[in-house]
């Protein structure tokens, strides 16, 4: 892994941030009270038959008034009842509107899923056919230009037949929305291209594609297979680039609660550590499970400690894929480094086929368990976990903040259930997907995302933005 890698994270524990849902506003409609019936005014002098009647009547009037005071007027009860019914009607209307909105959301989501299923139903089948197209192209490239239409009729006919077969295959691809792209001379894009090597290329700008090993393919607007390319080695491997990145880091203001670690290629570890400001950590991209011995080409923990290296990145997806590092190998490396005082960024994550077959949680559980089984409780103080959705790196697919949070939350829950609550609360879990200045702020808001593991190609001017988002 020759690219420069960066870790940007804030300090655990993260604060749980709840979101208060807006309460529906209740509006009561006040109706006018019913008017009193019109009464006639009658004026008269009262006459009494006896003196007793005259004395008894005021007492009776007083009792009547007391009885009336005990019973509230009927119109007050009616107004209260109307107000209560108005409130219920308003709440029911609000519930009805919300139900309609939910139903519309479900309808739109179902419609999109049906459309996407129809558009991308042949994705897996098409991927298998891409290899056939590659083999046909290899066969065509094997025929010398002079023999493609020369005197050897058999070879010429063979060449024409293979050409027609491949052209018909490409026409079939096109009918289903599958088209190739060959990016020679274009600027390297990690969402479209997969870098296999770097090479000097005269007349090429740094970061441009100088050779294509396998053409890329898109299905509709998605990358079916990234183009496998080689680029100018100045992109990630030159001393000049490393020095420019060090200069950028030295000028960047880093908040007190944010930790930044850079992982340069091994030949530049000493240069970077000696020229980089002390508050920025330096990580190696690999380390071996022995302190010393006849292990040609490996980096020992003692070598890293001599150089003042703080961290080591282990279990990266590229190490797992290209160097066939198994879960057990990664776990042994992680445990050895942690026990010997080097902090470890332990990478885990699922591939595209594992994601599409709903194995995400099973894969990260398996990888995390292998690491946890190799560690002693005290070793966790030296562990940082980095979740890498391999399916969202160099494929054109992007993990949403919600998808990233779901996996981070699951990892933390696994640590709580299988290691300890303390480890779950204090272990930082970084996101190692496609992170840039545009999506870093939204990702950093998620409760269980504590920072980022970022490829050097996506930094430069965006680096300060990513650091600020993490604070």
For 324-370, the pLDDT digits (tens) are 999 999 999 999 999 999 999 999 999 988 998 999 999 999 999 99
Active site residues: 316, 388
pLDDT of 193 = 78
Structural domain range at position 452: 5-12+236-470
Verify that 361 and 273 share a domain, yes or no.
yes
Name the token pair of 257.
């609660």
Verify that 203 and 241 share a domain, yes or no.
no
- In this structure, what DSSP letter does residue 2 have? -
**With a cut of 50, which residues of the chain have pLDDT below it?**
1, 13-50, 231-235, 457-458
Verify that 301 and 384 share a domain, yes or no.
yes
Verify that 207 and 256 share a domain, yes or no.
no
Verify that 273 and 407 share a domain, yes or no.
yes
Is 376 within 8 Å of 420 (Cβ atoms)? no
d(CA 371, CA 334): 7
Pairing relationship of beta strands 209-214 and 227-232 according to DSSP bridges: antiparallel
The answer to whether residue 44 sits within a structural domain is: no
Verify that 387 and 251 share a domain, yes or no.
yes
Verify that 318 and 435 share a domain, yes or no.
yes
d(CA 327, CA 15): 32
Domain boundary among 214, 232, 250: 232
pTM, full prediction: 0.55
Please report the sign of the dihedral spanned by the C-alpha atoms of residue 100, residue 101, residue 106, residue 108: positive
The answer to whether residue 271 sits within a structural domain is: yes
Verify that 336 and 190 share a domain, yes or no.
no
Name the token pair of 145.
């230009």
What CATH number corresponds to the domain at position 316? 3.20.20.70
Phi first, then psi, for residue 169 (nearest 5°) are -65, -40
182-200 pLDDT per residue, tens:
888 887 777 777 766 666 6
Verify that 228 and 358 share a domain, yes or no.
no
Name the token pair of 366.
């398996």
Verify that 292 and 218 share a domain, yes or no.
no
Which position has the token pair 């976990």? 385
pLDDT of 352 = 86
pLDDT of 206 = 65
Domain boundary among 232, 248, 275: 232
Report how many domains make up the chain.
2
* Buried-exposed string 87-101: b where 16+ CB fall within 10 A, e elsewhere: eeebeeeeeeeeeee
Which position has the token pair 């007492």? 59
What CATH number corresponds to the domain at position 219? 2.30.22.10
Q: Please report which helix (H) or strand (E) contains residue 281, including its range.
A: strand 280-284
Verify that 214 and 257 share a domain, yes or no.
no
Verify that 284 and 217 share a domain, yes or no.
no
């Amino acid at each position: 892994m020759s690219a420069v890698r960066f870790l940007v994270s804030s300090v655990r524990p993260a604060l749980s941030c709840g979101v208060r849902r807006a309460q529906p506003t209740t509006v009561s409609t006040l109706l006018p009270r019913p008017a009193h019936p019109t009464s006639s005014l009658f004026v008269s002098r009262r006459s009494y038959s006896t003196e007793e009647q005259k004395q008894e009547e005021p007492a009776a009037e007083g009792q009547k008034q007391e009885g009336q005071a005990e019973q509230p007027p009927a119109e007050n009860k009616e107004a209260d009842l109307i107000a209560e019914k108005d409130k219920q009607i308003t709440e029911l209307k609000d519930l009805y509107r919300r139900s309609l909105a939910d139903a519309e959301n479900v309808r739109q989501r179902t419609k999109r899923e049906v459309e996407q299923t129809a558009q991308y139903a042949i994705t897996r089948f098409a991927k298998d056919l891409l290899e056939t197209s590659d083999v046909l192209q290899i066969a065509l490239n094997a025929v010398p230009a002079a023999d493609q239409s020369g005197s050897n009729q058999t070879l010429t006919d063979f060449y024409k037949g293979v050409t027609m077969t491949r052209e018909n295959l490409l026409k079939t691809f096109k009918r289903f929305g599958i088209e190739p792209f060959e990016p020679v001379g274009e600027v390297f894009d990690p969402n479209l291209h997969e870098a296999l090597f770097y090479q000097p290329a005269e007349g090429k700008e740094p970061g441009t594609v100088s050779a294509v090993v396998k053409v890329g393919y898109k299905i509709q607007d998605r990358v079916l297979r990234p183009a496998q390319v080689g680029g100018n080695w100045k992109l990630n491997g030159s001393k000049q680039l490393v020095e420019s990145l060090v200069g950028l880091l030295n000028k960047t203001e880093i908040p007190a609660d944010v930790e930044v670690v850079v992982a340069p290629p091994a030949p530049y570890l000493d240069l970077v550590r000696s020229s980089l400001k002390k508050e920025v950590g330096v990580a190696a991209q690999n380390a071996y499970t022995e302190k010393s011995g006849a292990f040609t080409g490996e980096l020992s923990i003692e070598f890293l400690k001599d150089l003042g290296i703080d961290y080591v990145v282990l279990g990266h997806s590229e190490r797992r894929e290209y160097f066939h590092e198994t879960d057990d190998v990664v776990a042994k490396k992680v445990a050895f480094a942690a026990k010997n005082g080097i902090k470890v960024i332990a990478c885990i994550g699922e591939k595209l086929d594992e994601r599409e077959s709903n194995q995400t949680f099973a894969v990260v559980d398996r990888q995390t368990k292998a690491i946890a089984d190799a560690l002693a409780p005290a070793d966790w103080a030296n562990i940082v976990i980095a979740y890498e959705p391999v399916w969202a790196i160099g494929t054109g697919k992007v993990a949403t903040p919600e998808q990233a949070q779901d996996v981070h939350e699951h990892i933390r829950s696994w640590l709580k259930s299988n290691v300890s609550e303390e480890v779950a609360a204090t272990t930082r879990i970084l996101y190692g997907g496609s992170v840039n200045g545009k999506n870093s702020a939204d990702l950093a808001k998620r409760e269980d995302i504590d920072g980022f593991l970022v490829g050097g190609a996506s930094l430069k001017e965006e680096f300060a933005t990513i650091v600020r988002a993490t604070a």
